[in-house]
Amino acid sequence: MRTMLAARLHDIGKPMQLEQVPVPEPRPTDVVVEVKACNVVPNLSNVLATYAEWFPYLPLPKLPAIFGLDSAGVVSEVGSEVTAVEVGDRVYVNPGLSCGACRACRRGEDQNCDDYTFMGYFAFGTGGQRLFDAYPYGGLSQYLTSPQRNLVKLPDTVTFEQGARFGYLGTAYSALRKTGAGPGRTVLIDGISGTLGLGACLNALALGVTRILGTGRNAALLEDVEAIAPDRIHVLPAGAAPLAEWAREHNDGEGVDIVVDCLGPAAPAESMLDAIGTLRRGGVAVDIGGMMERPALDLFSMMCSQNSVIGSLWFSTGEAQEMADLAGSGALDLSVLEHHTFPLEQINEALDDLPSRHGGFSNYICIPPSA
């Protein structure tokens, strides 16, 4: 039996253990991908340390389990019924798994499946374990299996390290697509200097958004974000001025068209409410950050102003392919990402080092040993 190196978690709050496990074999419509880069997502250390506090209703896989949400690599084997995918293809693996048979899946709305599950992470419904059992390998291993329909082909100009960032980038891209972001629009990104926020900023630039406003707590990081495109990006440190007034000063006296809230679970609800208060009539706010507090929305005011607040979870494989093609064309510029690579054998050290990252610019990548 062929084996490979993998990092497995046996107990919540404990370090991962490096172990030899069987190399996976593909089912007829699956592929095997040799992992070249796996993103060490900022939330991973929180999920593994404070899971019961933050996400007790989101099922984890049975332990021990191989985690690793965002993986990029090379197709090394294909199942007997696989089409349009060949050995040697450079790919990103969309970890979003669905049942494939429910009403939502038949409509092509995989993220609305009651069993929607992140391979190598957690599930959103009680049926997730069946999907974990079908695809038990996350990216913190040398190989993983994936349905062929979950593959995003990477242009040659997109590196594996950049491809392994597609989870956070794609989440922001999907949110912007839902809100109609494009030329002539102004977008306010709450938390623009974080991992999600920077992804929203880069995608907004790629989609041709005319003006991008951003907030954040770290003034130095905000300056770095503004420097990406100072003619289109304006930033405000949190609390430095009334947000709605500042937004109108930087948007020809008008409210913004779109708010993208990227603040994480521990953020206060007041921050989201302040951001929603910058919307013009007919404006849309979309939440992708997962804030845990419950904001008190003024629904009557929102009704009168025809404002909307929506949630956007992850992205479709089709959206990720669009984003990959934008990156391949150069419209989506990923050169600002600062890659910090660790061998798989140092995964626990990588998790410990996450707090020192340079905001959303840092891209922590685990590199499995070559086969």
Q: Provide, rounded to the nearest whole percent, the portion of the chain with pLDDT above 90.
A: 88
* Banded model confidence at residue 58, pLDDT cuts 50, 70, 90: confident
Residue 230 region by backbone torsions, left for phi larger than 0, else alpha for psi between -120 and 50, else beta: alpha
Average pLDDT over residues 28-37: 98
Type of residue at 286: V
Q: pLDDT by residue (tens digit) across 277-313?
A: 999 999 999 999 988 899 999 999 999 999 999 999 9
Q: Looking at per-residue confidence, does 58 or 238 come out higher?
A: 238
Mean pLDDT over 40-68 rounds to: 79
- Report how far apart, in Å, the C-alpha atoms of 23 and of each of 67, 117, 145, 303, 366 are: 16, 22, 10, 55, 19
Residue 336 CA, chain-centre distance (Å), reads 17
183 and 114 fall within a common domain: no
Average pLDDT of the residues in 90-114:
96
Same domain, 133 and 246: no
Nearest Cα to Cα of residue 75 among 191, 168, 132, 154:
154
pLDDT value of residue 24: 96
Quote the tokens at residue 135: 């695809």
State whether 17 and 151 are in the same domain.
yes
pLDDT of residue 51: 65
Question: Domain check: are 54 and 81 in the same one?
Answer: yes
Confidence at 62, pLDDT banded by 50, 70, 90: very high
In a domain, 320, yes or no: no
156: tokens are 């040659």
168-177 pLDDT, tens digit each: 999 999 999 9
Cβ distance 319 to 170 under 8 Å?
yes
Question: Quick one: DSSP state of residue 290?
Answer: -
Distance CA 28, CA 307 (A): 47
Domain count along the chain:
2
pLDDT digits (tens, 9 = 90+) for 304-363: 999 999 999 999 999 999 999 999 999 999 999 999 999 999 999 999 888 888 999 999
Q: What is the CA radius of gyration of the chain?
A: 20
On the CB side of 326, CA atoms within 13 Å amount to 21
313 C-beta neighbours (distance < 10 Å), count: 15
Specify the pairing of strand 308-311 against strand 279-287. Answer: parallel
Among 265, 296, 311, residue at a domain's last position = 311
Three-class DSSP category at 182: coil
Is 327 contained in some domain?
no
- Please, which residues have CB within 8 angstroms of residue 25's CB and are 6 or more apart in sequence? 32, 77, 145
Confidence at residue 48, expressed as pLDDT on a 0 to 100 scale: 67
Structural domain boundaries, residue 284 = 170-311
Q: At 305, which CATH number?
A: 3.40.50.720
Torsion, Cα 203 205 207 210, to 10 degrees, reads 140
Claim to verify: residue 287 and residue 355 sit in the same structural domain: no
CB 154 within 8 A of CB 92: yes
Mean pLDDT of 150-179: 98
- 287 and 194 assigned to the same domain: yes
Contact (CB, 8 A) for 33 and 75? yes
Q: pTM of this prediction?
A: 0.96
**Per-residue model confidence (pLDDT) at position 132:** 96
